[in-house]
């Protein structure tokens, strides 16, 4: 590798080839994967990453004033001293607070009925104190015992997503000797608060277990309640809504299986709801001896079925699957239940009766395009529901919905201290045809005084059946107020329009995702919203794969590309069963080890494999050294190959967080600094003065 102050680092090429299905592939940058991973100590690897970081700092040094100004602007939109709306759970009201200037939260409670003057407030967990002196901090699970006396919580302090669980006595403030390292799960109180159910991450960062820890006992006494033998499945545990059952779920991206264990007797024999069947997903909850099962077994958009506890595998339809309505979830309460879903892509919340299937009460909202859903509703017996709501131009709002009079009560509207006037902006929902004729929804916002044909930022993800909701963002305003339109392409691969939408962007249909994104951009140009070369784009993880694919296929469209922790070395990763996520990812991408067609398809779109000698748009790429989801060498190899082959002189920058993981820096302001860097890069490349 060479690195001079006048030119970017150039990674060495080292001969490395591999063969599958009679096809030989050359991978000259394979050496960037440290053989000792997850520890990264190889001097050549670290030298290259540090050289790229130094180049990033050098090239961005002249933009420091812009970054600082953007950060100051973004921070001014955040209410620094802020608190959530208290919510009742048992004998207490719980809430979180941010103090002025604090990166992290403090968790509070007070007894129900106590004065709200602060005299009865109890600080139960102080993230600020826990994070002190650490470069990275993330709270994982947090769970108060049923009697309200103990608090279980878990912490990751390096971004590796291996959390250490601890237990705190809320009466004394003392942390108990019990300590469980290496967790990757929730923490579920059982057996009269004498035990905790959790999952450990194994050496390949997979949760293949559900375990029981008895308080005060050594970890060696912990009991494995369930072990998953399929290396592609992950295990998780939660409590049923009535808190009578521990729900142990196991599954991958297309198949699931559920077992129930009595919360009062977690060592009892688990009750299997229904044996796994490839391609069938389901989740289950229980009320008064009846199971409620949310499943895609008869319709890809899911149905709701019931079954008696005595015969849990015999399912009777309660709500049939529908082509129009995508049933995304079901929440049980004592006297009613709630279904959530999307009707023609728009969120819908419905209250339903246990006794009268025809009694359906939709909750209506004031805008034509929005995102809405159940918020924190921890109690079983309620007559008020906590809801969340936002749109691209409406700040996040917390409501209570009063069931008796069907009334929405506004509890809190996101406050923007520097000021925000929604009347200055407008939002639209467009449909733009892809090359195969499929109409792709696009959510877009911009200032009403914006001139047509101007700058536009396009965001996309398109994987795992994850929808990108048209919610509110304060940082987004830093682009929109500078003349950008901001658009979200609801491309196939997400489930924005139902399960068929997801299936149309995975496995052998994966390239639809990339085509949709490009065709949306071209459609926005054709409709006069922008022009080729005036479009900035961004995406992270699988959305970073999207960025790499469209930079390869249509480089002339983009004025700037930002790829966060991009999944760009797809072929190599899917060929390596030892990596944490790979076996569980085969249902999403295909298994190139066993399937030659999958090998050839993945190779045909894998951004790293498809880098070619051509002009590329300006690129900003980020990585996390401790990232277990998209390993650091994927973006590093991609950037190295781009440096070798690209024919232009446009900026290409790689920034690796040497003490963080998949989510970048922790803390509400530290992470905002990275957004300011991203926006400064975009504005720089598109010639906009911040």
* Cα dist from 355 to 71, 173, 359, 360, 377, whole Å: 54, 46, 9, 11, 22
Is residue 34 a contact partner of residue 43, using CB atoms and an 8 Å limit?
A: no
Catalytic residue among 457, 467, 627, 666: 627
β-pairing, 316-319 vs 303-308, is antiparallel
249: three-class secondary structure by DSSP? strand
Q: Which residue has the tokens 């009742």?
A: 88
Catalytic residue among 213, 515, 564, 662: 662
Instruction: For residue 600, report the phi and psi dihedrals to the nearest 5 degrees.
Output: -70, -40
Distance of CA 564 to the CA centre of its chain: 13
- Concerning whether 662 is annotated as a catalytic residue, the answer is yes
* Exposure string for 162-186, b = 16+ CB within 10 A, e = fewer: bbebbbbebeeeeeeebebebbbbb
Residues ≥6 apart with Cβ < 8 Å to 119: none
Catalytic residue among 541, 564, 606, 609: 541
- Concerning whether 627 is annotated as a catalytic residue, the answer is yes
CA dihedral 472, 476, 478, 482 (to 10 degrees): -100
> What span, in angstroms and rounded, lies between the C-alpha atoms of 607 and 541?
13
In eight-state DSSP terms, residue 494 is B
121: three-class secondary structure by DSSP? coil
Is the bond preceding 11 in cis, omega lying within 30 degrees of 0?
no
In eight-state DSSP terms, residue 193 is T
* Sign of the alpha-carbon dihedral angle for 44, 49, 55, 58: negative
- Concerning whether 213 is annotated as a catalytic residue, the answer is no
- As annotated, the active-site residues are 541, 627, 662
């Amino acid at each position: 590798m060479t690195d001079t102050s006048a030119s970017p680092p150039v990674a060495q090429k080292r001969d490395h080839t591999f063969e599958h299905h009679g096809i030989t592939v050359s991978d000259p940058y394979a050496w960037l994967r440290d053989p000792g991973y997850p520890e990264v100590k190889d001097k050549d690897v670290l030298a290259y990453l540090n050289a790229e970081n130094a180049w990033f700092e050098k090239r961005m040094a002249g933009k420091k004033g812009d970054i600082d100004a953007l950060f100051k602007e973004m921070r001014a939109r955040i209410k620094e001293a802020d608190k959530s709306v208290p919510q009742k759970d048992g004998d207490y009201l719980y809430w979180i607070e941010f103090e002025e200037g604090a990166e992290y939260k403090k968790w509070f409670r007070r007894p129900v009925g106590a004065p709200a003057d602060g005299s009865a407030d109890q600080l139960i967990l102080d993230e600020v104190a826990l994070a002190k002196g650490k470069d990275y901090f993330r709270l994982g699970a947090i769970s108060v015992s049923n009697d309200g006396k103990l608090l279980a919580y878990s912490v990751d302090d390096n971004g590796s997503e291996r959390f250490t669980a601890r237990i705190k006595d809320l009466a004394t403030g003392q942390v108990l000797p019990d300590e469980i390292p290496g967790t990757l799960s929730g923490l579920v109180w059982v057996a009269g608060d004498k035990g905790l159910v959790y999952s450990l991450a194994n050496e390949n960062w997979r949760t293949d277990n559900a375990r029981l820890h008895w308080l005060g006992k050594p970890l060696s006494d912990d009991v494995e309640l369930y072990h998953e033998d399929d290396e592609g499945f992950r295990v998780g545990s939660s409590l049923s809504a009535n808190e009578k059952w521990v729900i142990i779920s196991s599954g991958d991206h297309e198949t699931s299986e559920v077992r129930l264990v009595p919360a009062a007797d977690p060592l009892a024999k688990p009750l299997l709801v229904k044996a796994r069947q490839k391609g069938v997903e389901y989740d289950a909850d229980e009320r008064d001896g009846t199971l409620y099962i949310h499943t895609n077994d008869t319709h890809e958009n899911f149905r709701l079925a019931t079954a008696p506890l005595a015969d849990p595998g015999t399912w009777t339809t309660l709500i049939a699957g529908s082509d129009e309505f995508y049933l995304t979830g079901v929440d049980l309460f004592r006297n009613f239940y709630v279904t959530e879903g999307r009707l023609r892509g728009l969120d819908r919340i419905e209250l339903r009766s246990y006794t009268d299937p025809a009694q359906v009460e939709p909750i209506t909202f004031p805008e034509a395009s929005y995102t809405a859903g159940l918020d924190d509703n921890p109690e079983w017996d309620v007559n008020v529901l906590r809801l969340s709501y936002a749109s691209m131009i409406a700040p996040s709002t917390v409501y209570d919905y009063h069931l008796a009079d069907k009334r929405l009560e506004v509890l809190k509207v996101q406050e923007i201290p520097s000021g925000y006037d929604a009347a200055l902006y407008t939002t639209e929902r467009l449909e733009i045809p892809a090359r195969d004729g499929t109409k792709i929804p696009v959510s877009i916002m911009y200032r009403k005084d914006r001139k047509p044909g101007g700058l536009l930022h396009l965001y996309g993800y398109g994987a795992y059946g994850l929808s990108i909701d048209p919610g509110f963002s304060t940082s987004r305003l830093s682009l929109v107020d500078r003349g950008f339109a901001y658009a979200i392409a609801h491309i196939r691969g997400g489930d924005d329009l139902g399960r068929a939408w997801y299936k149309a962007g995975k496995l052998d249909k994966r390239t639809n995702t990339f085509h949709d994104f490009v065709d949306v951009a071209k459609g926005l140009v054709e409709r006069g919203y922008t022009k080729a070369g005036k479009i900035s784009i961004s995406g992270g993880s699988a959305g970073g794969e999207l960025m790499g694919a469209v930079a390869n296929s249509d480089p002339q469209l983009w004025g700037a590309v930002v790829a966060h922790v991009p999944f760009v070395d797809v072929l190599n990763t899917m060929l390596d069963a030892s990596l944490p996520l790979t076996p569980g990812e085969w249902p999403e991408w295909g298994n190139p080890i066993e399937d030659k067609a999958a090998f050839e398809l993945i190779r045909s779109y894998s951004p790293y494999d498809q880098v070619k000698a051509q002009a590329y748009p300006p690129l900003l790429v980020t990585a996390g050294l401790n990232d277990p989801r998209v390993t650091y060498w994927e973006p590093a190899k991609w950037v190295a190959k781009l440096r070798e082959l690209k024919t232009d002189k446009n900026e290409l920058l790689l920034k690796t967080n040497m003490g963080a993981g998949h989510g970048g820096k922790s803390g509400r302001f530290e992470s905002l600094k990275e957004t300011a860097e991203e926006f400064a890069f975009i504005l720089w490349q598109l010639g906009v003065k911040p």
